[in-house]
Amino acid sequence: MIIDIITVVPGILEGPFSHSILQRAQNKGIVQIRVHNLREYASGKHKNVDDYQYGGGSGMVMMIEPFVNCIEHLQKENTYEEIIFLSPDGETLSQNMANELSLKGNMIMLCGHYKGIDQRIRDHYITKEISIGDYVLSGGELAAAVLVDSIVRLMPGVLNDETSALTDSFQDGLLSAPVYTRPAEFRGLKVPDILIGGNTPEVEKWRFEQALLRTKERRPDLL
Ligand code: SAH
């Protein structure tokens, strides 16, 4: 899968994809994540990518032309199944959505900045609008990083232990059970006996009960 991200501040995205699981996924050739500087697709001497709002009002709006130039440039080389705009008024990102997107073909992600992007881009070029939550960020870059991470870790071959993504919170509609590692006792704080006994069916039962309990307490809306 190719994920092309279009941004006016590519520097924000230098870190998130060059470590740990996301870096490993790219090294293994499972995904190609490419960050494109919108300004390189702007015309004119000043390479402007934003302008004043029609109708007045505070906040600059990102112009249609640089985005379209960049999208069309990318489409000459590859076909894309989704062109996603990260936006607070989009559909809220969920585990289900990440699951679905992880099975798709190539995608482009557009990061807004300032007041947002010209509505004509959203009306005519975007196939999906995604929000990462009910709050407003300064730009779509961090949202794109969150979205990419949530998708890529689900792709086959990315996580070493194939089952581990399946036992994470939300995958089965429940929050995850608590986890422990060595030592079995730290300053009198003990790991639950059941996890040490080695009785796998009992451990599974305990984990399910704990997951249910935690979900009831913290997120009854999921049940
Ligand atoms: N004026 C817009 C907010 C602009 S914030 C509004 O009120 O809806 C600037 C950019 O940050 C947005 O265009 C979007 O790309 C990104 N952004 C901000 N909050 C976000 C969120 N919760 N999820 C995804 N992207 C977000």
- 191 shares a domain with 96: no
Rg (CA), the chain: 22
How many angstroms is it from 214 CA to the middle of ligand 1? 32
- 176 shares a domain with 143: no
Alpha helices in the chain (DSSP H): 20-27, 64-77, 95-102, 119-124, 141-152, 193-196, 200-218
- 177 shares a domain with 131: no
Nearest atom in ligand 1 to 131's CA: 23
Task: Say if 46 falls within a structural domain.
Answer: yes
Q: How far apart (Å, rounded) are the C-alpha atoms in residues 61 and 55?
A: 12
Which of 84, 87, 108, 135 is the best mutation target for the ligand 1 pocket, counting ligand atoms within 8 Å of the beta carbon and taking the most? 87
CA-nearest residue, atom 5 of ligand 1: 138
| CA distances, 139 to each of 51, 112, 185 (Å) | 16, 6, 45
Give the length of the chain. 223
Residues with CB under 6 A from ligand 1: 86-89, 111-113, 115-117, 131-133, 135-137, 139-140, 143
Nearest atom in ligand 1 to 110's CA: 15
Task: Say if 157 falls within a structural domain.
Answer: no
Q: Based on the number of CB atoms within 10 Å of its own CB, is 69 exposed (0-12), middle (13-18) or buried (19 or more)?
A: middle
Domain boundary among 96, 122, 152: 152
Which of 61, 86, 92, 113 is the best mutation target for the ligand 1 pocket, counting ligand atoms within 8 Å of the beta carbon and taking the most? 86
- 186 shares a domain with 141: no
How many angstroms is it from 174 CA to the middle of ligand 1? 29
What's the pLDDT at 49?
98
Q: How far apart (Å, rounded) are the C-alpha atoms in residues 122 and 209?
A: 45
Task: Say if 164 falls within a structural domain.
Answer: no
Nearest atom in ligand 1 to 135's CA: 22
- 71 shares a domain with 28: yes
For tokens 């998708």, the residue is 151
Task: Say if 32 falls within a structural domain.
Answer: yes
- 177 shares a domain with 147: no
How many angstroms is it from 131 CA to the middle of ligand 1? 8
What's the pLDDT at 165?
82
Nearest atom in ligand 1 to 62's CA: 13
3-class DSSP state for residue 130? strand
Task: Say if 12 falls within a structural domain.
Answer: yes
- 174 shares a domain with 140: no
- 142 shares a domain with 91: yes
CA-nearest residue, atom 23 of ligand 1: 131
Nearest atom in ligand 1 to 111's CA: 15
Task: Say if 184 falls within a structural domain.
Answer: yes
Tens of pLDDT along the chain (223 residues) come to 999 999 999 999 999 999 999 999 999 999 999 999 999 999 999 999 999 999 999 999 999 999 999 999 999 999 999 999 999 999 999 999 999 999 999 999 999 999 999 999 999 999 999 999 999 999 999 999 999 999 999 999 999 875 678 788 898 899 999 999 999 999 999 999 999 989 999 999 999 999 999 999 999 999 9
- 94 shares a domain with 24: yes
pLDDT in tens, 80-131: 999 999 999 999 999 999 999 999 999 999 999 999 999 999 999 999 999 9
How many angstroms is it from 137 CA to the middle of ligand 1? 6
Full domain range(s) for residue 108: 2-152
What's the pLDDT at 150?
98
Task: Say if 86 falls within a structural domain.
Answer: yes
- 138 shares a domain with 184: no
The CATH number that applies at residue 183 is 1.10.1270.20
The CATH number that applies at residue 6 is 3.40.1280.10
**Global confidence as pTM:** 0.96
8 A C-beta contact, residue 124 and residue 66: no
- 173 shares a domain with 124: no
